[in-house]
Amino acid sequence: MNDLLSRLRAIVGEAYVQDAAGTHWAQDWTGHYPYRSLAVVRPANTAEVAAVVRLANETSTPVVPVSGNTGLCGGAQAQGALLLSVDRLNQITDIRPDARIAVVGAGAILSNVHAAAAEHGLNFPVTLGARGTAMIGGLLGTNAGGSNVLRYGNTRDLVLGIEVVLPSGEVMDLMSELHKDNSGYNLKHLLIGAEGTLGVITAAVLKLVPAPRAHATAMVAVAGLDQALVLLNRLQEASDGAVHAFEYMPQIYLDEFRRQNPETRPAFDQSHAHNIMVELGAVAPRDAVPDGDGTVPLAALLEQTLAVMFRDGSVLDAVVAQSDAQRTEMWDRREAAGEVTLANDVIINNDVALPLDKVSVFLDRAGARLHALDPEGRAMVVAHLGDGNVHYMVWPSRDDAVLKSAVMEAVEDEVLALGGSFSAEHGIGVSKLPSMARRKDPVALAAMRAIKDALDPKGIMNPGKVLPAE
């Protein structure tokens, strides 16, 4: 052990091999996955990452890559392993406005990438509540989603190239800037979403998009989720696909948000069962430049659509943001979901994906199953309704492993019966290993294990994650 640490210090420097005890590296952000790692090593560049991984491979030392440590499924749990932090690989190497790309290190913080792109009137459109600490490496490792997937897709859809250190310590250069490249297997897409089990992503070429010139944002109460989808489709048609976010917050979530944040205002003067935060973004001046009376065309379109649906009873109430402060208030309400839903001492974390028109059916069925298993349990739900991603967080009435497993299986039953997936955007980590074992196609699992064995024959890269034991 001492020899290993001495050799690591020789690679990265004395100050960058640390004991994790008592630091933010001692557990993940949720606090549900504590661990005791061998050490935290913080390389400064790709060459140092490669040297660290070569040493780990030589000594058969398990390595767990970590970025901002904001995951929710225990993917960075590093019990008895070397924790490899990419936080010093934080460079934003290049922003090229004409090509609309950014070249960044894996340790670049998402909000810093946003700020650098904004200087050129551009945006990297992945956004989520943890953007002030989440790093590009972690976003790629989990193929992160967030609130703009409806308009721009997941992280995988917004990456042109990556650089990866393989378990052997070899550096694989996939730093393509091309939008089209059919030269063999798509290794980039294989590595993105692999949660560090196939290598350490050290850098990436990101796609940028024009930053919106204007936003139109509102809280909308609807009669039901079927009416919410009507609203979504009408807005998409009227705005030529300009809906960026369509977020569902039922009243139970809004009540809990205000309980935890009593200084905030309610979303509406009265309570409604089904509430949507919708945001449109305009790039074209015709939609964003105020007319003679100061009205922004995009905001007028949103208000007109809401008015029509209010008259037919589909929309029950609406508040349209009239300032940046009001828009921020609406976003704060939604982006507090991590803190709100994880506030209970005991949770059952479900992050599922469903066809859009099946979300309402799922919520009804899952609610009935939960009530039968645990009448006093509560489902603390929020959803990226525009892309069918439901965060079905359950607060059970008691800390009972058998009950937790039964609830997880019940949720999986209903999700898969409706053509959905038990994992949408948070990854597998360790929390969903039982789900993978129960539900993933066995042929697909065998193919994944074959890939893992081929690239990592010693099994050193983030062991015990993603793939359940055979």
Q: How do residues 385-426 score in pLDDT, each as one tens digit?
A: 999 999 999 999 999 999 999 999 999 999 999 999 999 999
Q: Which domains does the chain have, with CATH numbers?
A: 2-85 (3.30.43.10), 92-210 (3.30.465.10), 214-337 (3.30.70.2190), 344-432 (3.30.70.2740)
Is it the case that residue 447 has pLDDT exceeding 90?
Answer: yes
More confident residue, 77 or 461: 461
Task: Identify whether the C-beta of residue 382 lies closer than 8 Å to the C-beta of residue 391.
Answer: yes
The predicted model gives 113-130 an average pLDDT of 95
pLDDT of residue 385: 96
Q: Strands 351-353, 171-174: parallel, antiparallel or unpaired by DSSP?
A: unpaired
pLDDT of residue 61: 97
Task: Identify whether the C-beta of residue 230 lies closer than 8 Å to the C-beta of residue 203.
Answer: no
Cα 137 from Cα 68, distance rounded (Å): 8
Listed range (23-32, 295-304, 352-361) with the worst mean pLDDT: 23-32
**pLDDT tens by residue, 159-198:** 999 999 999 999 999 999 999 999 999 999 999 999 999 9
pLDDT of residue 103: 98
pLDDT of residue 27: 79
User: How much is the pTM?
Assistant: 0.93
The predicted model gives 227-232 an average pLDDT of 96
| Residues in CB range of 311: below 8 A, 6 or more apart | none
Geometric angle at alpha carbon 69, from 65 and 75, rounded to 5°: 60
Question: What is residue 224's three-state secondary structure?
Answer: coil
| Residues in CB range of 251: below 8 A, 6 or more apart | 271, 272, 273, 274, 275
The predicted model gives 16-34 an average pLDDT of 83
Task: Identify whether the C-beta of residue 352 lies closer than 8 Å to the C-beta of residue 393.
Answer: no
Q: Closest by alpha carbon to 174, among 192, 152, 197, 157?
A: 192
Burial of 304 (0-12, 13-18, 19+ CB in 10 A): exposed
Task: Identify whether the C-beta of residue 168 lies closer than 8 Å to the C-beta of residue 57.
Answer: yes
Is it the case that residue 362 has pLDDT exceeding 90?
Answer: yes
Is it the case that residue 432 has pLDDT exceeding 80?
Answer: yes
pLDDT of residue 373: 98
**pLDDT tens by residue, 27-77:** 777 777 888 889 999 999 999 999 999 999 999 999 999 998 888 888 888
pLDDT of residue 24: 82
**pLDDT tens by residue, 96-109:** 999 999 999 999 99
Mean pLDDT of the chain: 95
pLDDT of residue 31: 78
| Residues in CB range of 45: below 8 A, 6 or more apart | 89
Task: Identify whether the C-beta of residue 206 lies closer than 8 Å to the C-beta of residue 160.
Answer: yes
pLDDT of residue 75: 86
The predicted model gives 262-278 an average pLDDT of 96
pLDDT of residue 278: 98
pLDDT of residue 206: 98
The predicted model gives 196-204 an average pLDDT of 98
Is it the case that residue 20 has pLDDT exceeding 90?
Answer: no
pLDDT of residue 298: 94
Burial of 311 (0-12, 13-18, 19+ CB in 10 A): exposed
The predicted model gives 252-265 an average pLDDT of 96
- Report percent pLDDT > 90 for the chain: 88
Question: How far is CA 68 from each of CA 124, 127, 429, rounded to the nearest angstrom?
Answer: 18, 14, 15
pLDDT of residue 406: 97
